[in-house]
Structure 1
Amino acid sequence: MNSQNQIVLSLGSNIGNRLEAIELCISSIHNEIATVVKVSNVYETPAWGFQSEPFFNCAIVIHTTKSPQKILTQILKLEKQLGRVRGKQEGYQARTIDIDIISLNEDLVETENLQIPHNQMQNRMFVLLPMQDLSLNWIHPKFKKSISELIQACKDESECKLVKKLVSPIEKLKLQNFNYIAIEGNIGAGKTTLATKIAEDCNAKLVLERFADNPFLPKFYKDQNRYAFPLEMSFLADRYQQLTDDLAQFDLFKDFIVADYHIFKSLIFAKVTLHEDEFRLYKTMFDIIHKEMPKPDLYVYLYQNTERLLANIKKRGRNYEQEIPAEYLEKINRGYLDYIKTQTDLNVLVVDISDLDFIKKQNDYIYLLGEINNRLN
């Protein structure tokens, strides 16, 4: 998964129920466009650049892999859906909702229809004050100034009255009440992508399996009988070492831990790949190690049908995975589901994602977050 962009949007409304319009806009962006991870206070400010009713303004931070051009297209569409009517007359106008892209990471974007950072942000206190609430370590790429420095230099003397403190949709989920979440799934199910996105969006420490460094993996896919046992033993040792280290190291700046695997996957794969006598020896070693491993507060299994798994494997293009047979994936799926049935003392969430696309469809991702959050109850 590509690292997500951090985009700041400025929201404003001065027609009708302004607070309701702001809150509906935030909810719509979160559910349909991109994940809203931070929300500023709402301020009442006078209309800027024209005579009209005062505005309610706030700023939000969104995470997304979409391009700024794609975001612009989607927020213009959302403005129209929320009742904004753009008149033909020139200049500023009253509006039910206004959404502006203020910043994209610390990048400069200059196109015919898009300038980032917004070319007027440094002159508008109703943009700078809400952005300061977001507590971003952000420097303007052109002026080389922080938000606090831009505020000090701003000549806008408009009064900004605090109206209400809002909570972001991510904060409302309370995922930080978990200490450790393990996300599992078959090869190509999307567990690493989901774990990475949750970690970025919810301020979690991310633990990713180090499969790419295993020298036996490419050899195993070419000759399973010869390399299955050394592969599974090396995976077991590496998973034990990594989880022991990462789960023991508390991060003061993160709210919880999310991993894209659980140690028990070692036994599931070994049962499929090893001969009976090898598996007995392997299980003896596994049982010794497993006793020492902490259990996750939530174990999420992403189920995908074999057709989707094969398509995902082909799409991500790892050469050594391209010859994986369908029956192998089916055995792994059965192994996981059989394991889950036996875990009466483990908090397990099984989600069938065969018809979901949480990478491209924001509402599918929000659905998954909701399912995870429901386990808190």
Structure 2
Amino acid sequence: MKKQHQVILSIGTNQGNRLKNIVSCIDGLHNEIGTLIRVSKLYETPSWGFESEKFYNCAVVMHTHKTAHQLLDECLLLEEALGRMRSEAEGYQSRIIDIDVIAFDEEIITSDKLQVPHPEMQNRLFVLLPMKDLNLDWRHPILQMYLHELLIISEDKSNCTYIQNLDIPIAKLKLDHFNYIAIEGNIGAGKTTLTNKLAEDFNAKSVLERFADNPFLPKFYEDQSRYAFPLEMSFLADRYQQISDDLAQFDLFKDFIVADYHIFKSLIFAKVTLAEDEFRLYKTMFDIIYKEMPKPDLYIYLYQSTERLLINIKERGRSYEQEIPAAYLDKINNGYLDYIKSQKNLNVLIIDVTDRDFQSNQEDYVFILNEIQNKISGQ
């Protein structure tokens, strides 16, 4: 899965209730378009290029999987929803809300609809000053200059006045209170997708299961009875080694760890795939290892219906998964639910994501964040 794009947007308004306009725009961007991970201070600035009332301006950093042009189209729709009426008159005009795409990673984009980086950003203090608050290691890909260098050479000496700080939408979700979060679910439920998004958005270290490196996995799907035991033993050994290593290696630059599996899944899958005598032997080994493993501070189980799982598995196109029967997925799901019911001291959150696409649909991702927030706050 590709990393999310890092986008810098500039927001401005000089009509109506300017503070309300800015806050509504921030909420709309985060809830409908992409995850806002940083927000600058709010500034009052003179109009640029024409005479009018003063503007309120800020800048934000967004994470998104959308393309630059998809992002632009959605920002224009949000402007319209917030009341902006575009005029055919030439030149700059007052506006209830204005969203400019300033940067899209460090790409250079030139089209009829969009130019990135914004061609006037280096000449506008109301863009540069809020961007400085974002503390980004970003370099202008055309001018080959960092933000502090752009500020030095800028000829715009406008009086940009600090008004107040602004809330960051994801700040209320205190995931860094946890040391270790495990994301679990059936095959194709979206564990890795959610793990990567949380890690990128909340500055966490991601631990991803190395299923693709297991030589027994394709063989297992061809001949389960022959390869079930070596497959489950190899997964158990690898999961134990990976989690032990990653949890032991504290990363000074990350706030917590989020993994797309918990080692107990080994026992769940083994119970489904192994013969009775093999499972007894396997469980003996598992119990020894499990006692030594750290337990997650938060265990999130992504539930999806079997019908939806089969669609997801088909869409992601791993050849060795295409013949997985529905009955097998049902058994795995029941195994997870039985495990969850049996764990009295495990901090569990079950989220039904059957009808949600939290990679492509920001509203679905925000739904998951809200579910986590409700769990943390005890609602």
Specify the TM-score bucket, using the shorter chain as the normaliser.
over 0.9
User: Any conservation in 1 of the 2:9–2:100 contact (CA below 8 Å)?
Assistant: yes
Q: Distance in 1 between matches of 2:287 and 2:219?
A: 27
Q: Give the equivalent residue in structure 1 for 2:263.
A: 263
Q: Give the equivalent residue in structure 2 for 1:325.
A: 325
User: Any conservation in 1 of the 2:50–2:93 contact (CA below 8 Å)?
Assistant: yes
What per-residue deviation string (whole Å, max 9, x for no partner) do you get for residues 32-70 of structure 1?
Answer: 011111100111100000000110100000000101101
CA RMSD of aligned residues (A): 0.7
What per-residue deviation string (whole Å, max 9, x for no partner) do you get for residues 160-216 of structure 1?
Answer: 111111231111211211211100000000000011011111111100000100000
Q: Give the equivalent residue in structure 2 for 1:119.
A: 119
Asked if residue 207 in structure 1 is aligned to residue 207 in structure 2, the reply is yes
Q: Distance in 2 between matches of 1:172 and 1:185?
A: 26
Q: Give the equivalent residue in structure 2 for 1:34.
A: 34
What per-residue deviation string (whole Å, max 9, x for no partner) do you get for residues 100-139 of structure 1?
Answer: 0000000000001100000000000000011111111000
1:16: Cα distance to partner?
1.2
User: Any conservation in 1 of the 2:123–2:154 contact (CA below 8 Å)?
Assistant: yes
Q: Give the equivalent residue in structure 2 for 1:238.
A: 238
Q: Distance in 1 between matches of 2:359 and 2:105?
A: 20
Q: Which amino acid aligns with 2:44?
A: E
Asked if residue 188 in structure 1 is aligned to residue 188 in structure 2, the reply is yes
Asked if residue 278 in structure 1 is aligned to residue 278 in structure 2, the reply is yes
1:355: Cα distance to partner?
1.3
User: Any conservation in 1 of the 2:42–2:162 contact (CA below 8 Å)?
Assistant: yes
Q: Which amino acid aligns with 1:275?
A: A
Q: Superposition pairs for residues 138-217 of structure 1, below 5 Å?
A: 138-217=138-217
Identity of aligned residues (%): 66
Q: Give the equivalent residue in structure 2 for 1:314.
A: 314
Q: Distance in 1 between matches of 2:167 and 2:231?
A: 47
Q: Give the equivalent residue in structure 1 for 2:353.
A: 353
1:20: Cα distance to partner?
1.1
Q: Which amino acid aligns with 1:353?
A: V
1:7: Cα distance to partner?
0.4
Q: Distance in 2 between matches of 1:371 and 1:293?
A: 27
What per-residue deviation string (whole Å, max 9, x for no partner) do you get for residues 284-319 of structure 1?
Answer: 000000001111111000010111101100100001
Asked if residue 371 in structure 1 is aligned to residue 344 in structure 2, the reply is no
Asked if residue 334 in structure 1 is aligned to residue 334 in structure 2, the reply is yes
Q: Give the equivalent residue in structure 1 for 2:108.
A: 108
Q: Give the 3-state SS of the residue equivalent to 2:182 in structure 1.
A: strand
Q: Which amino acid aligns with 2:144?
A: K
Q: Which amino acid aligns with 1:183?
A: I
Q: TM-score, normalised by structure 2?
A: 0.99
Q: Give the 3-state SS of the residue equivalent to 1:10 in structure 2.
A: strand
Q: TM-score, normalised by structure 1?
A: 0.99
Q: Give the 3-state SS of the residue equivalent to 1:375 in structure 2.
A: helix
* Number of equivalences: 377
Q: Distance in 1 between matches of 2:220 and 2:331?
A: 17
- What runs of 5+ residues in structure 2 fail to find an aligned partner? none
Q: Which amino acid aligns with 1:226?
A: R
User: Any conservation in 1 of the 2:65–2:360 contact (CA below 8 Å)?
Assistant: no
Q: Give the 3-state SS of the residue equivalent to 1:85 in structure 2.
A: coil
Q: Which amino acid aligns with 2:246?
A: D
Q: Give the 3-state SS of the residue equivalent to 2:376 in structure 1.
A: coil
Q: Give the 3-state SS of the residue equivalent to 1:12 in structure 2.
A: strand
